[in-house]
Structures are given as C-alpha cells and as structure tokens.
Amino acid sequence: MHFTKNEARTAVLLCLFALLAVTLRLFQYRTADRPGLPFEPAPADSAVLNRVTEELDSRKLPLDVNSASSRALERLEGIGPELASRVVEERRKGGPFADAEDLAARVRGIGVLTIERLAPKLTFRDTARQEQ
C-alpha cells in the first residue's frame, strides 16, 4: 500500500496530534491536586475497587495475624491452606493473638523455627481494642 505525499503528511500530522493529546492528558492527570482516581467511580466500580484494595492490603508486609484472611496467610512462606485455616479458626475461637509465642502455643503446626522465620513479617494488633 502506497501513500501519496499529501496522505503521508496527513497521517504523520494526525499521529503527532494524537501523541500530543495523550501527553497533555497524562500531564493533567499527574499534576492534579486530588489523590486517587481521575473520575468518580460508579457504585459497581466501588465494590471492585474495595475488593482490589483489600487484596493489595493483604499482600503488604508485615501482615497483621489478627485480621489477615486465610488467603493472605497462605502467601507467607511455609504456610499452606491447612495451617492458614488453623490460624484463622484458632483466632475465631480464642480471640486475637498477643504475640508470636502465643501464636505458636495455640496453633498446632507452628513451631519455634516457623516463628523465627516469619516473625519479621508478622504483626499482632489487637483488633478488639482498635474497634472500641
């Protein structure tokens, strides 16, 4: 397919205008004073955004053992689905864990070596105190 000189100039000019428009839009987005999204999300979008936010929060380290889901706990090295579900079940039955030693004492399958390896990646916030 061959273009005449006029067609080629027009195509190049259109591409340059499109590139300029995209560049200006990105500049406006980056220099906006408001954080977050450049638009107001619809209610359905909000549900998706909340789910994505929860997912991203669950990937942050250190992980709060007293509020982490089973899926979030499984992301820790050496914690599989079975052990993660035991942690969540024990937390549900016995309340929040005080510290790493309390976690090891209450959950079968978590020993001293596991605690030593995971301690820097864990926190133990008291969720009952935070809600009051």
| Domain residue spans of the chain | 1-32, 55-131
- Is the backbone of residue 109 left (phi > 0), alpha (psi -120 to 50) or beta? left
Give 1's DSSP letter: -
Measured CA to CA, the distance from residue 100 to residue 62 in angstroms comes to 13
- Greatest Cα pair distance in the chain: 80
Among 35-39, 74-78, 80-84, 85-89, name the one with the lowest average pLDDT. Answer: 35-39
- pLDDT exceeds 80 at position 74: yes
- Residue entry with tokens 């030693």: 101
Question: Nearest to residue 97, comparing CAs of 68, 70, 120?
Answer: 68
Whether the full predicted model's pTM is greater than 0.85, yes or no, is no
Instruction: Give tens-digit pLDDT for 8-57.
Output: 899 999 999 899 888 888 777 666 555 565 666 566 667 777 777 777 76
Measured CA to CA, the distance from residue 72 to residue 101 in angstroms comes to 20
55-131 placed in CATH 3.40.309.10: no
